Structure 1
Amino acid sequence: MSEVNPRVYNRWERGLATPQFDTVVRIADILQVTLDELAGRTPAAAEPRIHNQELLNLYQQVDSLPDAEQQALIPVIDSFVRKTQVQKVMSRRR
């Protein structure tokens, strides 16, 4: 998989374009979800798949944080996750 041009990725996010099917399959593989889960047709698995014990411990404590602090974590975590997921998908195409 070649690198995704940031403009293309931005168009995906804004709903102006859609990735090719093989890219969607790779995204689902990387996220460890089914295509139905990725498309929102079925609910995602309820149990988190966190293998890093330290991260799992922190995850379990997040719910006790004040709402404002939880909300502040969302864009930070989301940006790391999205960047890594896209990089993995694109590196598999190579």
Structure 2
Amino acid sequence: MIEVDVPYFTAELVPADGTSPTVTAEFDLDQLSPSDAEQIAPGVLFYLTVRTVSDGGRRQRTSSVRLRRLGKWTDKDAAIVAAGVERLRNDLADLWE
């Protein structure tokens, strides 16, 4: 998101395929869930999904907007993961010996 100006937000869209140009677009805040709308601010990343559905020759386009949410890791979570990585590394080293 580049700018938030109620009732819209402006965002830079970077295509996932990496071959199309980046574009700037405006979206209604109504497209966000209430919990996502509370979290918006410049710099927040989000996903825009656009689908075209064909039903008996009739085509309908739908879209959804949702914020990217990263989990919050505690020191304990990181230690558990690190221990698991160490065990896996040791197991793999045993296979090569």
TM-score bin (small chain): under 0.3
More helix by proportion, 1 or 2?
Answer: 1
TM-score normalised over the length of structure 1 = 0.24
More strand by proportion, 1 or 2?
Answer: 2
Radius of gyration: which is bigger? 2
Quick one: higher RCO (CA 8 Å, sep 6+), 1 or 2? 1
